[in-house]
Structure 1
Amino acid sequence: MAKNGKVQLHPSKNPLSENIRGAMVELLQKHLASAIDLSYQCKQAHWNVKGMNFIAVHKLFDELHEQTEGYVDLIAERLTALGGQAHGTVQASNEGTLLTPYPLDLVHSEGHLKRLADSFSEMGGHVEKAVEESEEAGDPLTADLFTQIGRGLDESLYFLESHFQLPDVSGQTGR
């Protein structure tokens, strides 16, 4: 933020209007903070997981971290391409994240799997809203970026939830 509560933009020949670029930079900044948070939630789980299937979930959490780091980079690069200044520090992420804080006392693999599923679901909901907001603002490229991220989040959620979605005796899916 800068003058008159408006986002300060670097000069750019990007064809979007300054108003649209400013709005998208603000939107992208919230999601940059959230993607950094999600990335390190995955690392928190990776570093601290214990229990059955340790090596499989340990590796899964590291893969999810790498995937979300990719989202961080995509979001930051789009934000700066629009003339914004990416705020990508841990402190900025902490101040701007849209996600519920990750508990620091989880140990068991099932607890981490379920809590990360909650976080990926929460992030996915925010990303879906960002797709709509980007489209309504007239920025199809940012909407496409959020759509791409949303697809990846959905797939990750599937990988996480598959660990605890087991059919019961009647054939119904239970948690």
Structure 2
Amino acid sequence: MPKTRNDVNDNAKKTSIGVLQACLTDGIDLYNATRQAHWNVKGPQFHALHTMFEDFYTTLATDIDEVAERLVQLGGTANGTSQSVVSGTRLPPYPTDLRQGEGHVAALSERYAALAAALRAGINATDEAGDADTADILTGVSKNIDKALWMLEATAEK
């Protein structure tokens, strides 16, 4: 790790950098999936879903940036290239043949739930390692992901 005056202990930095990179990779993948849904959604709920998906990816963009910046603050390198996302994401590939709103809502719900679980695991790992600031950042992102998941599930309810 590069030298930094940040006094988080080295073990906590190493743990946090790993957690942050994994969450960054998944976050970028989810951002791209949400954009895919936004661009291609069709059907009777088009306008509402198109607008909701735009809100989601706008929030994700801010959260991704905060995660990446914390990673760098701790001495890591934020890897966000397409190649690093493809090789490192823990999310399943997003189906590119979806058009109808219900399909997009279901596919996004699965991925938002997966990222929510990963964030909670990351919160616990970074907190146990002694990096409360990273745990706090991940908690903020987790709240946003949980809200989006709630909105997706409410939309899918019949």
TM-score (normalizing by structure 1):
0.87
Q: Give me the CA root mean square deviation.
A: 0.9
Q: What's the CA shift for 1:165?
A: 1.5
**Structure 1 or 2: larger helix share?**
2
Q: Secondary structure at the match of 1:98?
A: coil
Aligned pairs for 1:25-44 (under 5 A) are: 25-44=17-36
Aligned residues: 158
Tell me the equivalent position of 1:48: 40
The question of 1:139 aligning with 2:101 is answered no
| Alpha-carbon displacement from aligned partner over 1:44-85 (angstroms, at most 9, x marks no partner) | 001111101211111111111111111210110000000111
Deviation at 1:19, TM superposition (A): 2.4
Task: Give the aligned partner of residue 5 of structure 1.
Answer: none
Q: Which runs of 5+ in 2 are unaligned?
A: none
Residue of structure 1 in register with 2:144 after alignment: 152
Overall identity of the aligned pairs, in %: 35
TM-score, normalisation: structure 2:
0.96
Structure 1 runs of 4+ aligned residues shifted over 2 Å read: none
Contact 2:11–2:129 at 8 Å: present in 1 too?
no
Amino acid at match of 2:46: F
What letter matches 2:93 in structure 1? P
Greater relative contact order: 1 or 2 (C-alpha under 8 angstroms, separation 6 or more)? 2
Deviation at 1:39, TM superposition (A): 0.3
Query: How far did residue 137 of structure 1 move?
Result: 0.7
Amino acid at match of 1:143: A
Give the 5 Å matches for 1:1-175. Answer: 9-166=1-158
Gaps of 5+ in 1: 1-8, 167-175
Greater Rg over alpha carbons, structure: 1
